[in-house]
Amino acid sequence: MITDESPGDIESPSDESEVLDNNLAHLLKPHPLFIEMEGLPETISFREIFGNDNPVEIEVGSGKALFLRQATQARPFHNFLGIEIVRKYARHGADRLKNIGVANVKILPGDALRFLRKVPDHSVTIVHLYYPDPWWKRKHHKRRVFTTEFVADVQRILKPGGQLLIATDVGDYYEQVIMLMKEFSQFQPLPAEELNEPKHDLDYLTNFERKFRKQGRPVYRVSYALGKELPGS
């Protein structure tokens, strides 16, 4: 990975191309915590991925994996799957998880919506969505991950009583979540969770939350539980 490069470190365009090629090769190298989208069956098996039948939690947009570093250690008998579309962040997060030696986590560098279609019905305990890209321009709102299609897939893959946990720093995004969730009557809102007072610099939900809270910006959290009676049951 390129870090702290100054213009004087690169002597010619060919040198720069070589650095970029090496960086790309590093990003594309296999990682022991990665599962790759290519080669996955139409319907995946969490037992094959994790080697056990422990409860599964999915984080959509796992970034640099601060949440996963905390959660995997707090709940060692749960399996965690982080999905991160930006491969360099996926690898960065996977490296951090590998360094702390947790065995109950995998990272998928790729598109969450595409992957969720491969997840079996009623197989996931919790889906986490923390600080997704707000895509500020109105014409780009269609790129937001939180859509009717996304919630429908989450409803399908959650076990009865499973939870969808969401956090954002964007008031408009929060309002969109509240309005869209009203279309899914099977989801019941859970009591609001009070923000903790961080005890150290890693005691935040994600890196984004740490940044926003240190800046004094508001953050919004909302949680839902899927009713026991599933559609079509």
Query: Which two structure tokens, joined as six digits, stand for 106?
Result: 């995998």
User: Other CB atoms closer than 10 Å to residue 39's CB: what's the count?
Assistant: 6
Catalytic one among 15, 95, 121, 133?
Answer: 133
Alpha helices in the chain (DSSP H): 13-28, 46-50, 66-74, 87-100, 112-116, 148-157, 171-181, 207-214
Sequence-distant (6+) residues with CB within 8 A of 156 are 121, 122
Closest CA to 127 of 38, 74, 58: 58
User: Other CB atoms closer than 10 Å to residue 7's CB: what's the count?
Assistant: 6
Question: Residue 120 gets which letter from DSSP?
Answer: P
Question: Residue 118 gets which letter from DSSP?
Answer: T
Alpha helices in 4-76 (DSSP H): 13-28, 46-50, 66-74
Q: From CA 73, how far away is CA 90, in angstroms rounded?
A: 19
| Terminal-residue alpha carbon distance, the chain | 50
**Whether 111 is catalytic:** no
- Written as one letter, the residue type at 136 is W
Which burial class, exposed, middle or buried, applies to 222 when counting CB atoms under 10 A from its CB (0-12, 13-18, 19+)? Answer: middle
Which of the residues are catalytic? 133
